[in-house]
A and B are shown apart, each in its own frame.
Chain A
Amino acid sequence: DAGITQSPRYKITETGRQVTLMCHQTWSHSYMFWYRQDLGHGLRLIYYSAAADITDKGEVPDGYVVSRSKTENFPLTLESATRSQTSVYFCASRSGAGNQPQHFGDGTRLSIL
């Protein structure tokens, strides 16, 4: 029972570089989400997807790009990383049926130097 997995778990990169965080779920959930977690802010939604090829912005989308070509994968790309994007990133998924909770991966800790 793999559930939802994120990779890499840790990443260090430099400003201006492109970096992609991966998220894979084995439940065939239709909805997937990306959050960032920062001290004093809790978890803030970056982007979400209701199904393959359907994505929408969340609260803090600037500087991020997502795609969803397959139901099970939802990669998050920082096209030109900035220090303010240093954070812990969490992916989540939920069933499309009503009243279902979101299930989270264990996160990617990203440091941008």
Chain B
Amino acid sequence: GENVEQHPSTLSVQEGDSAVIKCTYSDSASNYFPWYKQELGKGPQLIIDIRSNVGEKKDQRIAVTLNKTAKHFSLHITETQPEDSAVYFCAASRLTGGGNKLTFGTGTQLKVEL
């Protein structure tokens, strides 16, 4: 089955700096890669996702890059703000068959310091 590794497990940045979280996956057939943000006491919320036919996707201060050859993808947050502090999860799945079952990484606790 799929295995997703996520690094780092904790990340502390100064407000205004950039943050990068990296994930690798094992199943070359995976073709859908979402990123979720989880705030304390809440469920994960989708913030951005990317399909394998795209190398990069941006949404305001958030971007995701995908390298299919190396089987890794990354989340980039620019101009970080205190409200970006949360746990971030990457995930991978195949879109066809199996109901889009997601395999999650173990999460990154991001802290944005003033």
The residue that A99 contacts in the complex, of B1, B32, B99, B102, with Cβ under 8 A, is B32
Interface residue B81 (Cβ < 8 Å from any Cβ of A): no
Contact across chains for B43 and A90 when beta carbons are under 8 A apart: yes
Assess the A102–B42 pair: CB atoms within 8 A: no
B100 touches A94 (CB 8 A): yes
Hey, which chain B residues are within 8 Å of A100, CB to CB?
100
Interface code A48-64, partner B: CB below 8 Å = 1, 0 otherwise?
10100000101100000
**Which A residues, 74 to 97, have Cβ-Cβ distances below 8 Å to chain B?**
90, 92, 94
Closest B residue to A59 using CB positions: B1
Number of A-B contacts (CB under 8 A): 58
Q: Main SS of chain A's interface residues? A: strand
Interface residues of B in 28-57 (CB under 8 A from A): 32, 34, 36, 41-46, 49, 51
Q: Given A99-B51, A106-B42: A58 and B104 within 8 A (CB)?
A: no
Range class of the A interface residue count:
20 to 34
Q: Which of A90, A101, A107 has the most CB of B within 10 A?
A: A101
Q: Please indicate the chain A residues that have their CB under 8 angstroms from the CB of B51 in the complex.
A: 99
Interface residues of B (CB under 8 A from A): 1, 4, 6, 32, 34, 36, 41-46, 49, 51, 89, 95-96, 99-107
A41 touches B44 (CB 8 A): no
Asked if B1 and A43 make an inter-chain contact with CB atoms under 8 angstroms apart, the answer reads: no
A110: min CB distance to chain B, Å: 15
Given contacts A42-B104, A106-B43, contact A50 B99 (CB under 8 A): yes
Known contacts A98-B95, A101-B49; is-contact A41 B106 (Cβ 8 Å): yes
